[in-house]
Amino acid sequence: MKHPHLSPRKSGKKTYFHFRVRIPLDLISTFGGRKEFQISLKDVRNGETLMVSVLLQTLTEQLFSDIRSGMKKLTLEDIREILKVEVRKSIKHSHRVHLGTNKYDPEKVESSLNFVSSREEKMKQKLKDDLKTYEGMLDEKLEKILLSLDIEYDNNSINYQRLRRHFIDLYLLRFEFIRNLINETGRTDDDFRLEVEEKLKVELFPELKLHLTPVIENYAPEPTQPYQVEQPLTSHQSTPLSVGIENYVDEKGKIRDRSIDEVKHSLSHMIEEWGDIPIGSITREMTTKFKGHIRKIPRNRKKNPQYRDMEFHELVNMDIKDSISTTTLNKHLGYCSSFYEWSVTHGYSTINPFKGMRLKRTVRPRDERDRFSELELKKIFGKENYIHFTDIEKGRYELYWTPLIGVFSGLRLGEITSLYLDNIKEISGHHRGKRLCFNILEEPEREDKHLKTKSSRRIVPVHDTLLELGLMDFIQLLKKKDPKRQRLFQELKYKSGNYNQNVSRFFNNRYLPLIGLKTDKKNFHSFRHTVSDHLKQKGIEPHFVNELLGHSSGDIDMDRYGKGYNPDILYNKCVKKIFYETSQKRGIDFKSLKMDWNKIIG
């Protein structure tokens, strides 16, 4: 079978074909540089292969033509499809209002009916007094719908104006349907559909002329985004969530990419829950349900193959035991609340519906991570484990040094991996002598240097054990080998706003599991808890420990007016006191880890 678009393939003794088409030169960039694509016809019978190939060729040519011509025009058929979706959403919204009314309490029923009538009157008055403003609000909604469908439109075209007028008439019809549902008159969804067809004079549901769908008792709508235009909003309040989020993040100024991703990830849950609806349309009731839903999301959703391809509402309806922690939930709610505080300030919303939403923590912050016991430290830094798995003899400097620096300083992983060679320097103490220190600071000229908080800026004296293991010799050899070298761990790649990835993956995902110490509460960050608790048990005053770890002291006078401690004081009060022992007078043998740096670096 010879055909320019068919390419033969063999599977055992059988031959089948691939449909192959070359992408026109002018469209290659549109397809990301791809020059051709193929479709397997293995499941097509030989007698039909040619026919299918001709059909596919016609479709691809039409596809290329459509791409060249741009978006399609707004047609009457498009109007029908958009209105059908809008009718479905109106029906779901109406049932939501109905089911939210306590039908067993006559006063509640009357209150709900009055509320619906009040909203109807407000809308009618708005249409009477300021139709242009209301149409402008609808224009923003319709623009989003039409662009998502790749439909080109002209605000002045007859079809566009017809669609906008249909939306207004549909919203007015909905009020009466809601009242019918609350009064339980027996009107069905199909009755509403037929009324819409009659009012708009557009055939939307031809199937109703053949048979009517049955009345659904105890209707419970599936999770979906709430109706987007419930009452007239200002143009500012009608701004979609996605636009508001981008503006909010832009105003945060210069923050790490990782922080931006974290904020956007938390705020994206709102769009997953409700869709890209106007900022000003979100109510307290909606956020209450949202909190209940987000509590059901699994841990590491995007990393777990079982969940990463599932939609938000699919996950919400599952019985997931390993859901996110209270800390993570509160983080998401906190970002949402901050976003809405900003929205209130900038006129996008009249209220912060997330205010006071966070749950009370049942675990103290210090208990969210476990420290390493001295016996565990002995296992971590045992020569038979540490030298073998860190691959130091193969040049994995960062795997060798970062845990050691962490356990003798309490530095964060990001503070260690981002060290420049000139961040490790001798600083004068009380006397004429100088002491080698880690200078933890943010440097504007180095965009990869960041501090977690303002309190993080500090001077941390280098522990004697690190000097005995040859840290200074190591640094001097690095400089000698490469005079242009800038960073201590130059081999690490900058990704997602830090240099942590390779070290974190090694220590948390490989090393701790290999030696049997991995738990949900133990990872590299546990070294900070280890140092903190170690010094606490030795009776070191909290303000010295806070200075070492880069925490606020909680004393406004010390935080605002006091400078950092002199390196000699911090060394004598804290660093010198870090001495790990598994029993009385029996310390962990860190000296066995000493390497011949001349041999390794060369």
| DSSP state string for 508-563 | IIIIHHHTT--BTTBSTTHHHHHHHHHHHHTT--HHHHHHHHT---S-HHHHHHPP
Whether the CB-CB separation of 245 and 261 falls below 8 Å is answered with no
pLDDT attached to residue 325: 85
- Single-letter amino acid code for the residue at 390: T
CA–CA distance from 569 to each of 333, 432, 503, 554 (Å)? 41, 14, 31, 20
Instruction: Give dist(CA 5, CA 7) in Å, integer.
Output: 7
**Domain 374-601, what architecture?**
Orthogonal Bundle (1.10)
- C-beta of residue 278 within 8 angstroms of C-beta of residue 237: yes
- pLDDT tens per residue, range 120-156: 998 999 899 888 888 888 888 888 787 767 677 778 8
Domain map (residue ranges) of the chain: 6-69, 72-209, 241-362, 374-601
CA dihedral sign, ordered 525, 526, 529, 530? negative
pLDDT the model gives residue 225: 43
Residue 560: predicted pLDDT: 42
Q: With a cut of 50, which residues of the chain have pLDDT below it?
A: 1, 71, 212-231, 364-367, 555-562
Q: CB within 8 A of 478, min separation 6: which ones? A: 421, 485, 488, 601
